[in-house]
Amino acid sequence: MTAIRQDRDDGTDAETPSTETETGKPPSDGSPGVAAPRRRGGFASLWRPALAGVSAVVLGAGLGELVAVIAAPSSSPFAVIGGALIDLAPPWAKDTAIALFGTNDKAALLALIAIVLLVVAALAGRLQALRAPVGVVIAAALGAIGLVAAITRADADSIAWLPSVVAGGVSAIAMNLLVPLGVSALPAPSAEGVAASGSPAPAGVDRRSFLTWAGGTTLIGILAAAGAQLSSAGSAAVSTIRTALRLPAPATAAPPIPASAELGVPGLAPVITPNDDFYRIDTALVVPQVDPADWRLRVHGLVENELSLTWDELLAFPLIETDATLACVSNEVGGGLIGNARWLGYPIRELLARAAPTAGADMVLSRSIDGFTASTPLEALTDDRDALLAVGMNGEPLPLQHGFPARMVVPGLYGYVSATKWVTELKVTRFDAEAAYWSTRGWSERGPIKLQSRIDVPRGGQEVAAGDTVIAGMAWHQHTGIEAVEVQLDDGDWMPATLATAISADTWVQWSFSWDAQPGDHIIRCRAVSAGGEVQTAETASPAPDGATGRHELRVRVT
Ligand SMILES: Nc1nc2c(c(=O)[nH]1)N[C@H]1C(S)=C(S)[C@@H](COP(=O)(O)O)O[C@H]1N2
Ligand SMILES: [Mo]
C-alpha cells in the first residue's frame, strides 16, 4: 500500500520539476521561489525532502553493509531481511518466484527489497519534512526490522545486531540532518506572503548546496556498499580453503561412465552436468561459509549412540562414489531444475548403523547451518540405495553453493526432503513428531521423485529444416529406472525412442528419435515408461505440493 500511495504522490507532482526549475534558479536576485505557484504549499517541492530521505537511507544501508562485511558477514541487513522474507513467504511464492526468475530469484528478491527501501526512504523524507520526526522514526524502524531479522537467524552470532543498528542509526541521523537542508531552501508555507512580497528567502542552503549534500551522502553510501561487495568477494577465506583441499580417493570408485550413455546430440543435456551448470535452489540469500575445521555433524535423537563427527573423521571413513540425478520439486514439466553428478561421500546407512536408531524412529530430520531442515524417511537412508553424506561433486570438493563442506544426496527423493546442503545435524525422529522447512509451508512431508521425461532437441518454437531430424531428450525415475521412452507426433501413435545406456537406475538417461520432418506445424510429445512398468501420466499437476506431472510437448514449424 505504501508503495502505491507513494506512486500516486509522484504522479500528482508531475508539475513539480518545472516549479523547481524556477524556484531553483541561481538566486542572483536573492529571491528564490518568488515565481513559484504556491497553491499546494509545501507539497509542491517535496521532492527535495524525498531525495534527502533517499540519500540518508542509502548512506545508512551502505555503511550497514560495510560494517557487516567487517564484523558480522552473515548479518548484512539486506541478506537478513531477504532471508526473513524467504522464510515468511507463503508457499506459492516460491513457485511464482522460480517460475518468473528461475535461479535468478535471489537477485530479483534483492532488487525488490532495494526498490521498496528507496520508495519508503523517499516517503520518509517527505514525512520528515511535513511532520518531523516521522521520517526519522521510519528510518530507525527500517533498522529495527533488520535487527529483528538478524538476531532471529539460525546462524546468528553475538554481534548479529550491529550492522542493522548502524544502518538504522546512520539513516535516522542523516535523515534528521539532511531533510531540513532540503526544506529550508524553500520559503516555508507560512512565509509565502513575505517571500512573494519580495523579502529575502529564509536562511538555508540553495539548490546547488542541497544537491551537493544529498549527492555526496548518496555517493558515500554507494561507495560503502561497493566496498562491502568487493571485500566480501576478495576475503572469501572458505573459498580459498576449498580450493586448496584435496579429497581422498574413494575406497569404492564408481565404474567409468559408459561411452554409450552419451548420444552426442547437439543441444541435448550432457549426461553428467558440469558443476557450473548445475541448478541451484535454496533459501540462503548469502551462501553459508563453513570452514571444514569448524564443521561438525551431530547425529542424535532416537539413537543408542549419539555421534559428533569432525571433518577429518569423516574423510578418514571409506568413501564411496555414486552417480545420482538430483531434482527439485519445483521443476515444471520440461524444466531445468534437475542435474546429474558423480558424488563422493560416506553412506548415511553406515553412519546411522554407528548411531543405532531405536525402534519407532521413521524419519531423519537433517538440519543445515542456516536452519533449513529436510525430513527424509529413515528407510530411504538405511536401504540398499547409496544415500550419501557427500563431500565431493564431479571430482572436486562440493562447490560452496552446493553445500560445502558436506551435504546429503539421496537417490529417488526430491531435494527439499533429502538433499540438505551445509548439513550439520541429523536428528533421528518420527514424522508424527517433527516437520521440516517446506512441510510447514504446505509441501508434502514426503517427496519421492516422479517419473518424467523432457524434450531438449529441437527447442520449442524453433524452425526445423524439413527432412531427417533428430528429436532428443532426457528421462528419469530415480531409484526405479527407465524402461522406454516414446514419442508422439501430432496426436498419432506412440513410437519407441532409442535409449542411451543408463548409468544406473539412480540417474537420468538420454533418448533420441529419428524424424523425417514434413513441412508444416507439428506438435511433439514424449512420455517415459519406468522399469516398474508405470507409464508417465498425461494428467497435469503443478509442482506444489509434491511435484509436477504431465507430458512435455512442444510446437515446431518445419520449413
Ligand atoms: N541448506 C539447504 N539445503 C537445501 C535447500 C535449502 O534451501 N537449504 N534446498 C533443497 C532443495 S529444495 C533442492 S532442490 C536441493 C538443490 O540442490 P542444489 O542447489 O545443489 O542443486 O537442495 C536442497 N538442500
Ligand atoms: Mo527443490
Tell me which residue of 63, 10, 67 sits closest to 170, measured CA to CA: 63
Which H/E stretch holds residue 341? strand 338-347
Domain around 291: 259-441
Distance of CA 274 to the CA centre of its chain: 20
Residue 253 resides in a domain: no
Q: What residue's CA is closest to ligand 1, atom 20?
A: 402
Using CB atoms within 10 A of its CB, is residue 115 exposed (0-12), middle (13-18) or buried (19+)? Answer: exposed
- Strand 307-310 vs strand 296-301: parallel, antiparallel, or unpaired? antiparallel
Find the 121 Cα to ligand 2 centroid distance in Å: 35
Long-range contacts of 106-112 (CB under 8 A, 24+ apart): 106/82, 106/285, 109/82, 109/85, 109/285, 110/78, 110/82, 110/285
Residue 321 shares a structural domain with residue 467: no
- The single-letter DSSP state of residue 44 is G
Residue 288 shares a structural domain with residue 162: no
Residue 283 resides in a domain: yes
Ligand nearest to the CA of 338: 1
b/e string for 167-199 if b means 16 or more Cβ within 10 A? bbbbbbbbbbebbbbbbbbbbeeeebeebeeee
Number of domains comprising the chain? 3
Residues 168, 118: Cα–Cα separation, whole Å: 14
Q: Identify the domain boundary among 441, 469, 497.
A: 441
Ligand nearest to the CA of 424: 1
Residue 296 shares a structural domain with residue 429: yes
Residue showing cell 521413521: 362
Q: What residue's CA is closest to ligand 1, atom 8?
A: 282
Residue 19 resides in a domain: no
Residue 61 resides in a domain: yes
Task: Please answer whether residues 326 and 339 qualify as being in contact, where contact means their C-beta atoms are separated by less than 8 angstroms.
Answer: yes
End-to-end CA distance of the chain: 51
Residue 423 shares a structural domain with residue 283: yes
Q: What is the pLDDT along the chain (559 residues), one digit of tens a residue?
A: 233 222 233 333 333 333 333 333 333 333 333 333 333 444 446 789 999 999 999 999 999 999 998 888 788 898 899 989 888 888 788 778 877 887 788 888 989 999 999 999 999 999 999 998 999 999 999 999 999 999 988 878 889 999 999 999 999 999 999 999 887 544 544 444 343 333 344 435 788 888 999 999 999 999 999 988 887 765 568 999 999 999 999 999 999 999 999 999 999 999 999 999 999 999 988 889 899 999 999 999 999 999 999 999 999 999 999 999 999 999 999 999 999 999 999 999 999 999 999 999 999 999 999 999 999 999 999 999 999 999 999 999 999 999 999 999 999 999 999 999 999 999 999 999 999 999 998 899 999 999 999 999 999 888 999 999 999 999 999 999 999 999 999 999 999 999 999 999 999 999 999 999 999 999 999 999 999 999 999 999 999 999 999 999 999 999 9
The pLDDT of residue 105 is: 85
Ligand 1 atom nearest 422 alpha carbon: 1
Q: What residue's CA is closest to ligand 1, atom 15?
A: 415
C-alpha cell at 351: 553412519
Residue 224 shares a structural domain with residue 157: yes
Q: Identify the domain boundary among 218, 234, 250.
A: 234
Q: What residue's CA is closest to ligand 1, atom 13?
A: 415
CB atoms closer than 10 angstroms to residue 228: 23
Ligand nearest to the CA of 366: 1
Strand order in the sheet with 498-499: 452-457, 467-476, 509-517, 498-499
Find the 419 Cα to ligand 2 centroid distance in Å: 9
Ligand 1 atom nearest 279 alpha carbon: 21
Residue 250 resides in a domain: no
Residue 226 shares a structural domain with residue 130: yes
Q: What is the CATH number of the domain that holds 309?
A: 3.90.420.10
Q: What is the CATH number of the domain that holds 479?
A: 2.60.40.650
C-alpha cell at 140: 530507525
Residue 409 shares a structural domain with residue 546: no
C-alpha cell at 323: 552417480
Residue 18 resides in a domain: no
Which H/E stretch holds residue 344? strand 338-347
Residue 493 shares a structural domain with residue 461: yes
| CB-facing half-sphere around the CA of 269: CA atoms within 13 A | 29
∠ CA 402-406-407, nearest 5°, is 60
Residues 395, 220: Cα–Cα separation, whole Å: 44
Residue 182 shares a structural domain with residue 73: yes
CB atoms closer than 10 angstroms to residue 145: 15
The pLDDT of residue 512 is: 98
Q: What residue's CA is closest to ligand 1, atom 19?
A: 280
Residue 95 shares a structural domain with residue 196: yes
The pLDDT of residue 246 is: 96
Q: pTM for this one?
A: 0.82
Find the 41 Cα to ligand 2 centroid distance in Å: 55
At 257, give phi and psi (nearest 5°): -65, 125
Residue 213 resides in a domain: yes
Residue 219 shares a structural domain with residue 292: no
Residue 28 resides in a domain: no
Task: Please answer whether residues 393 and 340 qualify as being in contact, where contact means their C-beta atoms are separated by less than 8 angstroms.
Answer: no
Residue 376 shares a structural domain with residue 464: no
The pLDDT of residue 235 is: 58
Ligand 1 atom nearest 329 alpha carbon: 14
Find the 93 Cα to ligand 1 centroid distance in Å: 17
